[in-house]
A and B are shown apart, each in its own frame.
Chain A
């Protein structure tokens, strides 16, 4: 038996889980190997020390806090259930992205120039929209005048009245 194998079987040996043959092998190794014998002695000492470890009593203050958990939970639970609803996750994700983008603007060394560039883009966009709106107005006017012209032409030609006269 090797020392590694002895170590692997040490707990089983002390807990009486080994067969007669296994025990004999362990005993044989122990008689021949002083370092494993020392390990066994330390192992037993450790086990003895662990067996006598204290069990503490939870203090009355802790017990009072534990008893009060349902009352605390009824308030915090309602709040946390609302805040942690899965349906709010996309909202939190969107806010996170927004905050990250804003942090780039506010904490970037050239933050002011970025802000100016953004302002410029916003103004440009606004102007574009204004122009489009103005264009749309002029197109509407043109369409209106075209409509009037067509109506006037129809009135002038008045094909129905002409047919009545022929009769």
Chain B
């Protein structure tokens, strides 16, 4: 699919082009917002705001650049700005909903329970990371972006991105250790 052609068609106001763009990116942006905010309701609102912004600034897109990276940069900036603006209101994430996990990833009842617990702890632990670190973990470990793509999205040198991801993972491992200690 030629994304740049679709963007051009959106700018020309062609019927269906915007829908195609939404079908391509809505899920990715919605999940990014959900993983970042921890709330489905907030994620829906923020996804709408991000695409509203995108529609308004589509004319400014430089066709020499990577559209996906440009959109994810816009989404990242919006999410971090919103978090900074309202962080005092965000203390709780939605309960971790295991029902939405693909069944194939649950091997057996015992292992499943342990993994479920760990996932729930990590899900809560994400809130303990700074917005920059959380975004680094989300892009790398949840969205599966390459370090090069992340450098473009975050606007940082490759080495800084790698070190930020590493520090975020260590911070998350320490949160897991602490939470396990609290439970036992």
Contact = CB atoms under 8 A, between A and B. Distances in A.
Given A10-B169, A43-B173, A70-B18, 5 more contacts: A7-B170, A45-B176, A52-B101, A53-B123, A56-B34
Contact of A43 (B47, B51, B105, B169): B169
Contacts of A47: 141, 169
B58 to A, nearest CB: 10
Q: How many residues of B sit at the interface, in one of the four size bands?
A: 35 or more
Contacts of B170: 7, 10, 39, 43
The SS class assigned to the B binding surface is helix
Interface in A39-72: 39, 42-43, 45-59, 62-63, 65-67, 69-70, 72
A46 B101 CA distance: 17
A50 B165 CA distance: 13
B5 interface: no
Interface in B82-141: 97-98, 100-102, 105, 115, 118-119, 121-123, 137, 141
Contacts of A66: 22, 26, 47-48, 51
A12 to B, nearest CB: 7
B162 interface: yes
Contacts of A8: 163, 166
Interface in B133-173: 137, 141-142, 162-163, 165-166, 169-170, 172-173
A69 B172 contact: no
Nearest to B119: A49
Contacts of A147: none
A70 B12 CA distance: 12
B4 interface: no
Counting chain B CB atoms within 10 Å of each CB, the highest count among A53, A56, A70 belongs to A53
A54 B141 contact: no
A10 B169 CA distance: 9
A53 to B, nearest CB: 6
Interface of B: 13, 18-19, 22, 26-27, 30-31, 34-35, 40, 44, 47-48, 51-52, 55-56, 97-98, 100-102, 105, 115, 118-119, 121-123, 137, 141-142, 162-163, 165-166, 169-170, 172-174, 176-177
Given A56-B34, A62-B48, A67-B22, A73 B55 contact: yes
A42 B47 CA distance: 32
13 contacts: A8-B163, A39-B173, A42-B174, A50-B122, A51-B141, A52-B105, A52-B119, A58-B30, A62-B26, A62-B47, A70-B13, A70-B55, A73-B52
Nearest to A55: B31
A55 B35 CA distance: 9
Contacts of B98: 54
Contacts of B44: 58-59, 62
A62 to B, nearest CB: 5
Nearest to B97: A54
